[in-house]
A and B are shown apart, each in its own frame.
Chain A
Amino acid sequence: MIVLGCNDVRVDFGTTVALDGVSLSWEEAGAIHAVAGQNGAGKTTLCRVLAGLIRAERGEVIIEGTAYPATAQGRRREGVELVHQTFALPPQFTVAEALQLFRPGTARGGLFQRGRMERRWADQLEELGFTVSPKVLIRDLAPEQQQAVEITRALSSGSRVIVLDEPTAVLPPEAIAGLFDRLRALAAQGITFLVVMHKLRQVRELAGTVAVLAGGKVVLPPTAMGTIDDDEIARLIMGASSEQVVTGASAVAMGLADAPEGLTGATASGNATSVESGGLPGRDQRDTSEAAVLRVQDVSVSSVEGRRGLRSFSVEVFPGEIVGIAGVEGNGQQALVDVVVGLLAPREGRVVLGGADASGLRIAARRRLGLRYIPADRQSRAVSLSSSLWVNAMAAPVSSGYGVSGVVRRGFLSERRLRKRGEERLQRWQVRYAASDQAMRELSGGNLQRVVLAREVDDDARVIVAEQPTQGLDLGGTELVWEALRRARRQGVGVLLVSSDLDELFALSDRIVVILDGERVEELRPPYDRTMLGHAMVVGAAS
């Protein structure tokens, strides 16, 4: 009998296909099954479809042998419960109230009987082995306790199948073992778990079978863990993703592979497993006593919901060097960028810019030290869509106070000269525009990124933090950004390149530092090996 499964499920979000004809089935009850995949692979969508929380375009869902159409409009399905990635309990309720919500029993004449309710849930929680008082408010609970309440709630519905979406993402490391023990104990009682996880080590520790999704498709049907090794799973997770991410960027890389690259020397072969790269000839003989332009030293940042922190993370960027940061998205890259840029104060550790401790410096001061930032989120972080082009081009120089001598004096500025200065920048980067006072929102994506480059890749730059700099750009745009970063490198700028496009990392990076769960797990040098990188990104350091 199929305990849980789906058949030819397709889910669209607007023009994005989240799930594309997904068919999966798990037959062993009382077991723990895992689904792995990169961000955006469709894992959470799958969970929601299985639980009946969202409507599919087509397909069916199978629960304990019964098939249901997956196209029913957002109706909760009996028999299967979902424990969300981020908790969905009302924070101002007590544990007992949250559990009781929408459940029959203990209410008489529409009124709750607090005492009875609390006793009932105290028993239930204890039975499941959770040490949580039913009288405590949800918001006062530790993450693992909230999760315990969620699991209790899911089980109290009588469901025998529980779907857990990234249950370890919100837990502190020391709580993970406890969760795993609990799940194993419950599985032994006949509960079937489907667990979404992206860390292979945890999949191996917990699950009996693993299935892999990539780009909304099944690339590995449920397979017993004993019959497949980590490298193979990692290759499926990463390999498929690189095909998916092989966008314009990679095509350019491949096209450029034949062209003599001269100084930059960055080449990327079409061979999917081994890609050569390199910086300046003789890079390995770089004088390491030379001061790093950027030094991130033992930085720790706490994890918060939606953003993983860092654990004693260190990385150095030397002049004339591009250091790539590789990792499955959501492993601390955001925190790293924010700490370097100055948007986030680390709990421990420091950031040194060109020899000066910048940890306590505000963004403007860091920019005056030559720090530049090309954000991934262009529309909200990089540009102001309703402001004019020249304002966008001159925003950081004016606000942070560099490169505007003769235009801004003691806080007074000449709008005319400022605009002229902005136009010079725009023209140097060949931004196509009708008038420099037209609104930013009128520009296309590639043209918009040119404005960002015009502002961030200037003569005063010493360190450039480039975050997904070619995401969503076409061939020409990608080429432009790559050339800009390479030119900056030639001029002695240090670049910290955070990218989820492996081909981009291979094509540009002199070194690649791998980040996993907020930790630095590996540093790779050319020639790069895709399998090795994939392994490091998902499993950790090669032992």
Chain B
Amino acid sequence: MNWRNGLGSVGRSGVALLVGLALAAITFQAGGFSAGGTASGVVTGAITGPGSLALTLRYALPLAFIAIGVVVSFRGGFFNAGAQGQFYAGGIVSLYVGLTLPTSLGGPIVAMLAILAGAVAGMVWSILPGLLRVYFNVNEVIGTLMFSFIAEYLVTYVAVGPLKSSAGAGQVAVTTSVPNAVRVTPASGIGIGVVLGVLLVGAAVWWLLRRTRFGFEIALIGRNPVMAEVQGVEIRQIGLATFAITGFTAGLGGAIEILGPLGSISSGYDPNIGLTAILVALVGVLAVGGVLVAALVFGGLTAASLYLPIATGLPSTSLVFLTGLVSFVVTAKVGWGRWSQGLAQRVRGGPRPGHRGDEVPVPSGAPPDADERQRGTPAASPGSVGTPV
């Protein structure tokens, strides 16, 4: 990536973020809360308060895991929106393995196996809609989201069924907790191993994208799938692989969340992490470095959402509103690029699509899925993010 262009897109992301925050501040002010108080509340809750930074990091880590994998799919133009479900799948399976394997094997070994099993589970949960996408042209947004819903109900099933803790916890059913020996972090959710894990996964993905034929081909597909096919790219294989990688890291995130800070799953567990991770990937301009920074920002916002109700009396859901606004602006930012391209085309006087003369030869050989994707993806088509790779 040309560093100047890269800086430009990062800058635009930053601006989008600030615009989103400003809009939120105005809304809060209008709603009778102090915008200034909210702002300082966010800063205290995310950074300066006692233990705030630790909390920020704790929420940033799983986000980073997931978002790094999302980058891979999005760069290939595959809108894998089901990280939430893949996260659940990873969490459930790692919990199961963590509970089933005897700790006599050694805590760390059980933990490793459980994490691996979770990552593979996330991968499977992503590959299934991936197969539907590449072989049957089922829209991957719908497919992955459907699988997320299934996973959500599996969470409840697991919590009230097979792994239910006999101890009980009042209204909410909870599974048995994994033994302490198997936990990868204390309840704070911060462990040096997890931080290293994020950096390792980040480095691996960066290297995959920039230093392998596979990464080269992902970029080709993401930018022009028809051209990529003509060049000899195996779109199905590469597409499936991106689904696998996204699922793997999301599963990893789920495993570490369950084996780390949570230790168990409760029914109705909904951290709303999958969609936030997509946002992190987009704000991070689909670059690994950018994603790490964006994960910290959103981790900070999550941390602040716990503090805000105490500090300002804002309901904690106000942060959902805030992230919603930010996602709106960020998505619009992706659209800006597209809009300006369209404008440039109009200024150059090129023919506008959908307004052709009769009998103008239309390329008919384009595979329908490619065509479909160019027209049909939601505004945040990843292909238009960033700069030439």
Task: Tell which of A45, A381, A388, A414 touches B363, judged by Cβ atoms closer than 8 Å.
Answer: A381
What count of chain B residues pass the 8 Å CB interface test?
42
In the bound assembly, the distance between CA atoms of A440 and B234 in angstroms comes to 23
Cα A413 to Cα B214 with chains together (Å):
10
Interface residues of B in 190-216 (CB under 8 A from A): 210-214, 216
Q: Is A16 touching B357 in the complex (CB atoms < 8 A)?
A: yes
**A411 touching B365, Cβ below 8 Å:** no
Pick from B213, B230, B355, B388: contact of A408, CB under 8 Å:
B213
B210, B226, B232, B352: the one within 8 Å of A396 (CB): B232
The proximity string for B residues 216-241 relative to A, scoring 1 for CB distances below 8 Å and 0 otherwise, is: 11011001101111111110000000
**A319 at interface by CB-CB < 8 Å:** no
CA distance A14 to B365 in the complex (A): 25
How far does the alpha carbon of A306 sit from the alpha carbon of B217 in the complex, in Å? 30
**In the bound complex, CA of A272 to CA of B233 (Å):** 44
Whether a CB of chain A sits under 8 angstroms from the CB of B364 is yes
Question: Which of A131-139, A242-250, A372-380 forms part of the interface with chain B?
Answer: A372-380
Is B360 an interface residue, CB under 8 A from the partner? yes
B210 lies within 8 A of A415 (CB)? yes
Q: Which residues of A contact B389 (CB under 8 A)?
A: 387-388, 391
Report Cα–Cα, A306/B210, bound state, in Å: 39
Instruction: Tell yes or no: B150 within 8 A of A by CB.
Output: no
Q: Is the Cβ of A343 less than 8 Å from the Cβ of B234?
A: no
Q: Write the nearest CB–CB distance from B212 to chain A, whole angstroms.
A: 5
Q: In the bound complex, how far is the Cα of B361 from the Cα of A298, in angstroms?
A: 26
Do A386 and B223 touch (CB < 8 A)? yes
> Which residues on the A side are within 8 Å of B233 (C-beta)?
364, 399
A14 touching B351, Cβ below 8 Å: yes
In the complex the two chains form, is A380's CB within 8 Å of B366's CB?
yes
* CB–CB A411/B234 < 8 A: no
Asked if A67 is at the interface (CB within 8 A of a chain B CB), the reply is: no
Q: Which of A34-42, A57-65, A201-209, A276-284 contacts B (4 or more CB under 8 A)?
A: A34-42
* In contact, B210 and A375 (Cβ under 8 angstroms): no
A400 touches B231 (CB 8 A): yes
Q: Which residues of B contact A362 (CB under 8 A)?
A: 232, 234
User: How distant is the Cα of A15 from the Cα of B226 in the complex, in angstroms?
Assistant: 28
Q: Residues of B contacting A435 with CB < 8 Å?
A: 2
| Chain B residue contacts of A443, Cβ below 8 A | none
CB neighbours (8 Å) of B229 from chain A are 343, 363
A381 and B211 CA atoms in complex are apart in Å by: 25
**Contact in complex: B227, A381 (CB < 8 Å):** yes
- Minimum distance in angstroms from A373 CB to a CB of chain B: 6
Known: A45-B357, A384-B227. A399 touches B364 (CB 8 A): no
Measured in the bound complex, the distance between the Cα atoms of B217 and A438 in whole Å is 19
User: Shortest CB–CB separation between residue B167 and chain A, in angstroms?
Assistant: 51
- CA–CA, A399 and B230, complex, Å: 10
Query: How far is the CB of A517 from the nearest CB of chain B, in Å?
Result: 16
Contact between B365 and A338, CB atoms less than 8 A apart = yes
B360-389: CB near A (< 8 Å → 1, else 0) gives 111111110000000000000001100111
Q: Judging by beta carbons under 8 Å apart, are B357 and A437 in contact?
A: no
User: Whole-angstrom distance between the alpha carbons of A43 and B217 in the complex?
Assistant: 42
What distance in Å separates the Cβ of B9 from its nearest Cβ neighbour in chain A?
Answer: 13
* A531 CB within 8 Å of chain B: no
Interface string of A1-26 (1 = CB under 8 A from B): 00000000000011110100000000
Q: Mark A328-359, 1 if CB is under 8 A from B, else 0.
A: 01100010011001011000000000000000
* Separation of A285 and B230 alpha carbons in the complex (Å): 36
Select which of A41, A344, A375, A440 is within 8 A of B230 by beta carbon. A375
Determine whether A325 belongs to the interface, using a CB cutoff of 8 Å to chain B.
no
- The reply on A179 being an interface residue by CB < 8 A is no
Q: Measured between alpha carbons, how far is A329 from B131 in the docked complex, in Å?
A: 37
Q: Is the CB of B226 within 8 A of A13?
A: no
- Judged by a CB distance under 8 angstroms, whether A295 is at the interface is no
Closest to A388 in B: B388
B residues less than 8 Å from A398 (CB atoms): 213, 216-217
Contact A381 B359 (CB under 8 A): no
Check B230 against A343 for contact (C-beta < 8 Å).
yes
Task: Tell me whether B230 and A411 are in contact (CB under 8 A).
Answer: no
CB-defined contacts of B363 to chain A, threshold 8 Å: 376-377, 380-381
Q: 14 A-B Cβ contacts within 8 A?
A: A13-B358, A307-B364, A334-B364, A343-B367, A364-B233, A364-B234, A380-B224, A381-B366, A385-B224, A387-B219, A387-B220, A391-B216, A398-B213, A399-B231
Residues on A lying within 8 angstroms of B by beta carbon are 13-16, 18, 39-45, 48, 306-307, 329-330, 334, 337-338, 341, 343-344, 362-364, 367, 373, 375-377, 380-388, 391, 395-396, 398-401, 408, 411-415, 418, 435, 437-440
B interface residues (Cβ-Cβ under 8 A, vs A): 2, 210-214, 216-217, 219-220, 223-224, 226-234, 349, 351-352, 355-367, 383-384, 387-389
Excluding A376-B361, A381-B365, A438-B388, 5 further A-B contacts by CB distance (< 8 Å) are A363-B230, A376-B363, A383-B227, A391-B389, A395-B220
Q: Nearest 5 A-B pairs (CB), nearest first?
A: A400-B232, A364-B232, A13-B357, A44-B358, A388-B388
